[in-house]
């Protein structure tokens, strides 16, 4: 009979502590491979193309984008929400799974947190350029004393809550990530042979020596940060959803938005994490640390959150009908059968149907399949935000002002450029930072002679 | 000039061994000793006799400061600095301020916790203290005992050998 109590090892290949350091630090200490250089070159080209597009838009004007009355929120807000959502998986893994003592998080938390930070950086660009005049943004977005009164920002506006939530989220994620990195930077420092490498990682490690007195405070700080990040990550997408829900636009003005957005964010974030980790474990030879068990667990979360998102789609429809509000009903019928029906069905297909494959264990452990499915989920989640933003605005209260929204070529190029930035940053991360939390992994691998107790 | 101090260091290769060694060092009542490990070893605080960190109180105070800052910023700007009537809503619209109350509380508490933990509690950044062995951040566990003068080095080395340290040496410097 199958042993139901059997637990898969979190790290395979019966590694010793020294093996962990050797395996994880290898990409940092060897010359970049042609594959890495090629990928980084392409990602960089795309990133600078994106920056060029932004510069062009600042020179030429916001009309470069496809936004036309009545659709005032176009690609930039869609992509902002998309990237913020991607970030959520990292914090879920690093904070919420930490509080639930899910030890499998140790293999993937470092790269997932890096993904969070880079995704929020990509997201941060879009509201700034969406203002059309980014040089005014600081004054519009942040409360700082100025010569006009001083005039202050409107703290009653969800858009401002969003600024504060996203900035806080970025700062806390960065601090959390760095805290986890300090002992690992010390490891890199102590094995460095090159003088400059030793100095640079020495500075980054703050002179960490692994003292137990320091560890005892460190662990408490880590716990507090996890405790703070848990409500924070839930608050961020909740507040992003307030940007929509606090308005009185049909299709947006619903109380389901906060949980629906948070579930969607975790869903898309885990899909992106699977996309990246499937590649990274192959290229950097980390299959013993990011095991099939890890990917299996992540695919289960994708399945669960995908079902939550599907439930939210259904609930929205039901409530639109049940509310008896004709505007609300009209918008939802438009979504499924109107001019944007194609985008609605891409969304449903990618987000509700694709995760269903993950009911089967063999499919959850099938690398090529999960890679393809995770790409579908990423596409689907971008389209979810497209559906929400565009359908509600394009067919507004006055039929005479209805308009069909199209992405302009500028929109498409800038959207692709943000992916270039994301992958450039992630590739740099893989080269210069230990991609696995070494100190945390060591704490979960069995010590010599204790293998038989399990 | 202060007298030179010395650290006598013994090495172990298993977390279980360092736990036992730390316990024995504590029972010998050394004035100043510490263990150095590649990862936090479960139970070492108890073995070594470390008190639970008072860091949570720092976080709490910082969180309160963040909350006060958020209240002050929003109420002061809207009520006194430049009152503005937006949609006939009350000037001090407390429910609308709640998201920023929460965010600034978390921001202040999180950043302060980490900064105070590294600077005040761990005494970092500090690049002058001796790194006893480069493998302490890899796979070695060290017990380091600080002694006041050269005469005490030998007895402490003997003690470390008695508690089964695999390697023993001493370095000049403070713990």
Q: What is the pLDDT of residues A218-265, one digit of tens each?
A: 999 999 999 999 999 999 999 999 999 998 888 899 999 999 999 999
Residue A198 reports pLDDT greater than 60: yes
For residues A268 and A99, the answer to whether their CB atoms sit within 8 Å is: no
**Residue A448, pLDDT score:** 59
In a domain? residue A4: no
> What is the distance in angstroms between the Cα of A218 and the nearest Cα belonging to chain B?
7
Residue A353 contacts B, CB cutoff 8 Å: no
pLDDT class of A452 with cuts at 50, 70, 90? very low
Longest dimension (CA), chain A: 78
pLDDT in tens, A117-171: 999 999 999 998 998 888 887 778 888 888 887 888 888 889 999 999 999 999 9
Which neighbouring-strand residues pair with B33? B145
Q: Which residue has the higher pLDDT, B174 or A297?
A: A297
ipTM, 2 dp? 0.93
Select from A143, A208, A443 the Cβ nearest to the Cβ of B40.
A443
Residues in A touching B139 (Cβ below 8 Å):
16-18, 21
**Residue B126, pLDDT score:** 86
pLDDT class of A69 with cuts at 50, 70, 90? confident
For residues B102 and B71, the answer to whether their CB atoms sit within 8 Å is: no
- Identify the residue whose tokens are 């990040």: A229
> What is the distance in angstroms between the Cα of B87 and the nearest Cα belonging to chain A?
11
Helix (H) or strand (E) holding A380: helix A367-386
CATH of the domain at A205: 1.20.1630.10
CA distance A301 to A263: 10
**Residue B5, pLDDT score:** 83
Give pTM, 2 decimals: 0.92
Helices (H), A255-354: 257-283, 292-323, 326-337, 341-348
Tell me which residue of A243, A326, A219, A284 sits closest to A426, measured CA to CA.
Answer: A284
CA distance A218 to A215: 5
Q: Pick from A7-11, A359-363, B148-152 the range whose average pLDDT is largest.
A: A359-363
For residue A113, what are the domain limits?
17-142+152-447
**Residue A142, pLDDT score:** 84
In a domain? residue A26: yes
CA distance A208 to A172: 21
**Residue A332, pLDDT score:** 92
DSSP A173-214: HHHHHHHHHHHHHHHHHHH--SHHHHHHHHHHTTT---BHHH
User: Which residues are within 8 A (CB) of A305 and not within 5 positions of it... i.e. 6 or more apart?
Assistant: A263, A264, A266, A267, A270
CA distance A230 to A311: 23
In a domain? residue A430: yes
Instruction: Compute, in degrees rounded to 10, the torsion defined by CA atoms A184, A190, A194, A198.
Output: 70
In a domain? residue A428: yes
pLDDT class of A450 with cuts at 50, 70, 90? very low
**Residue A453, pLDDT score:** 41
A vs B: CB pairs below 8 A: 196
Q: Which residue has the higher pLDDT, A220 or A3?
A: A220
Long-range contacts, stretch A311-317, CB < 8 angstroms, 24+ apart: A312/A256, A312/A259, A312/A260, A312/A263, A312/A264, A313/A348, A313/A351, A313/A352, A315/A256, A316/A254, A316/A256, A316/A260
Number of domains in chain A: 1
CA distance A345 to A328: 19
What count of other Cβ atoms lies within 10 Å of the Cβ of residue A414?
27
In a domain? residue A5: no
What count of other Cβ atoms lies within 10 Å of the Cβ of residue A367?
14
Residues in A touching B56 (Cβ below 8 Å):
220, 224
Residues in B touching A219 (Cβ below 8 Å):
40
User: Are residues B81 and A150, on separate chains, in Cβ contact within 8 Å?
Assistant: yes
Percent of chain A at pLDDT exceeding 70: 97
Domain ranges of chain B: 6-52+130-172, 55-121
Helix, strand, coil % over all residues of chain B, rounded to 5: 50, 15, 35
Residue A186 reports pLDDT greater than 50: yes
**Residue A173, pLDDT score:** 94
pLDDT per residue as tens, chain B (175 positions): 466 788 899 999 988 899 999 998 899 888 888 999 999 998 898 988 888 889 999 999 999 999 999 999 999 988 888 888 888 888 888 889 999 999 999 999 999 999 999 999 988 888 888 888 888 998 899 999 988 888 888 888 888 888 888 888 888 888 7
**Residue B2, pLDDT score:** 62
Which residue in A158, A216, A237, A238 has the most chain B C-beta atoms within 10 A of its own C-beta, making it the best mutation to test that interface?
A: A216
Average of per-residue pLDDT across A177-196: 92
In a domain? residue A10: no
Which residue in B50, B72, B107 has the most chain A C-beta atoms within 10 A of its own C-beta, making it the best mutation to test that interface?
A: B107
Mean pLDDT of chain A: 90
């Amino acid at each position: 009979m199958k042993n139901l109590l059997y637990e898969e090892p979190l790290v395979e290949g019966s590694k010793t502590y020294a093996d962990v350091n050797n395996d994880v630090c290898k990409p940092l200490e060897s010359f970049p491979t042609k594959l890495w250089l090629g990928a980084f070159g392409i990602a960089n080209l795309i990133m600078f193309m994106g920056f060029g597009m932004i510069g062009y838009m600042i020179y030429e004007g916001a009309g470069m984008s496809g936004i036309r009355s009545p659709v005032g929120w176009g690609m930039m807000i869609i992509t902002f929400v998309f990237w913020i959502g991607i970030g959520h998986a990292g914090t879920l893994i690093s904070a919420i799974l930490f509080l639930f003592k899910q030890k499998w998080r140790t293999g993937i938390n470092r790269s997932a947190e890096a993904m969070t930070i880079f995704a929020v950086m990509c997201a941060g660009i879009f509201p700034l350029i969406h203002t059309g005049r980014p040089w005014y943004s600081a004054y519009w977005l942040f409360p700082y004393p100025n010569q006009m009164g001083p005039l202050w920002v409107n703290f009653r506006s969800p858009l401002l809550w969003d600024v504060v939530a996203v900035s806080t989220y970025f700062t806390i994620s960065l601090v959390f990530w760095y805290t986890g990195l300090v002992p690992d930077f010390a490891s890199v420092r102590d094995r460095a042979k090159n003088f400059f490498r030793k100095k640079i990682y020495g500075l980054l490690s703050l002179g960490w020596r692994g003292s137990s007195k320091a560890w005892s405070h460190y662990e408490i700080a880590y716990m507090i940060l996890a405790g703070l990040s848990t409500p924070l990550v839930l608050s961020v997408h909740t507040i992003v959803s307030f940007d929509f829900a606090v308005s009185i636009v049909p299709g947006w003005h619903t109380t389901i938005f906060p949980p629906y957005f948070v579930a969607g964010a975790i869903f898309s974030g885990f899909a992106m994490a699977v996309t990246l980790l499937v590649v990274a474990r192959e290229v950097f030879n980390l299959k013993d640390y990011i095991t099939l068990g890890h990917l299996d667990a992540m695919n289960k979360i994708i399945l669960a959150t995908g079902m939550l998102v599907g439930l939210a789609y259904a609930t929205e429809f039901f409530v639109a009908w049940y509310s008896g509000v004709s505007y609300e009903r009209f918008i939802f019928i438009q979504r499924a059968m109107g001019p944007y029906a194609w985008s609605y069905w891409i969304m449903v297909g990618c987000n509700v149907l694709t995760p269903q494959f993950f009911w089967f264990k063999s499919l959850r452990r099938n690398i090529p399949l999960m890679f393809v499915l995770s790409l579908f989920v990423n596409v689907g989640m971008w389209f979810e935000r497209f559906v929400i933003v565009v359908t509600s605005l394009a067919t507004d209260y006055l039929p005479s002002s209805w308009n069909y929204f199209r992405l302009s070529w500028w929109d498409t190029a800038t959207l692709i450029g943000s992916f270039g930035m994301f992958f450039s940053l992630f590739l740099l991360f893989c080269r210069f930072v230990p991609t696995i939390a070494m100190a945390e992994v060591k704490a979960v691998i069995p010590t010599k002679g204790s293998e038989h107790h399990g | 000039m202060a007298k030179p101090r010395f650290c006598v260091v013994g090495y172990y290769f298993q977390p279980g061994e360092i736990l036992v060694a730390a316990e024995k060092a504590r029972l010998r009542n050394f004035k100043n000793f510490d263990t150095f490990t590649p990862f936090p070893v479960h139970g070492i605080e108890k073995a070594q006799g470390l008190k639970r960190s008072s860091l949570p109180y720092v976080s709490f105070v910082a969180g309160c400061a963040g909350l006060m800052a958020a209240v002050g910023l929003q109420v002061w700007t809207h009520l006194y600095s430049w009152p503005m009537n937006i949609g006939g809503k009350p000037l001090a619209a407390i429910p609308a301020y709640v998201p920023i109350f929460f965010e600034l509380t978390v921001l202040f508490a999180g950043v302060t916790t980490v900064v105070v933990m590294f600077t005040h509690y761990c005494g970092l950044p500090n690049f002058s203290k001796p790194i006893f062995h480069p493998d302490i951040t890899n796979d070695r566990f060290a017990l380091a005992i600080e002694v006041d003068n050269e005469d005490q080095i030998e007895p402490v080395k003997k003690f470390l050998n008695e508690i089964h340290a695999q390697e023993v040496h001493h370095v000049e410097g403070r713990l």
